A = this chain, B = another copy of it.
Amino acid sequence: MKQEAITESTGYLLAHVCKTHRNKAGELLAAIDLYVGQEMFLLQLWQRDGLSLSEMAELVHVQPATASRMVGRLEAEELVKRRQDSEDGRVSRIFLTLKGRELREPVLDVWEELETISMANLTADERILLRRLLLQVYQNLKSGD
């Protein structure tokens, strides 16, 4: 591969767009006192309170160690509380606090704004197309060796 090819590659552009997207998300979430990624945990709990830590990790697509620490931080901010499962002493269940529940609407607003900004100037067809292409890339990466 020629050297210039890296910075001209689609993968490089993808990484760059993503970083920009993530930074924008971080900026918008900061306004409601959340760090990027935290909202994903809350999102899952709004759908189903009391998930176990490993269920959370799986749903959010992170490792259990990451989930454990992030839940720890959410707990420290009093957005969630942890309880030991009644039937399996190893299992940690995560529950929303009132404070955590109140963040639902603001988070949805943030993501709506983020999506509106990101998808501006793209027709509905282009958005569908982008999704299809991204899904193909994802499949490739998931199965590639």
Question: 10 nearest interchain CB pairs?
Answer: A1-B112, A117-B144, A18-B18, A1-B108, A130-B133, A120-B140, A20-B141, A17-B138, A6-B111, A9-B115
B-contacting 9-mer, from A50-58, A77-85, A92-100, A121-129: A121-129
Check if A17 sits within 8 Å of B111, measured CB to CB. no
Q: How far is the CB of A59 from chain B (nearest CB, A)?
A: 9
Q: How many copies does the complex hold?
A: 2
From A105, which residue of chain B is reached at the shortest CB distance? B1
**Given that A11-B115, A21-B15, A118-B11 are known contacts, is A133 also in contact with B126, CB under 8 Å in the complex?**
yes
Q: How far is the CB of A107 from chain B (nearest CB, A)?
A: 8
Cross-chain pairs A/B with CB under 8 angstroms, 21 sampled: A1-B109, A1-B111, A3-B104, A5-B111, A10-B118, A10-B131, A11-B25, A11-B115, A11-B118, A14-B134, A17-B141, A20-B138, A20-B141, A21-B137, A21-B141, A119-B137, A120-B144, A121-B136, A121-B140, A122-B133, A130-B137
Q: How far is the CB of A121 from chain B (nearest CB, A)?
A: 6
Check if B14 sits within 8 Å of A21, measured CB to CB. yes
A101 is an interface residue with CB less than 8 A from chain B? no
Check if B111 sits within 8 Å of A140, measured CB to CB. no
Q: How far is the CB of A39 from chain B (nearest CB, A)?
A: 8
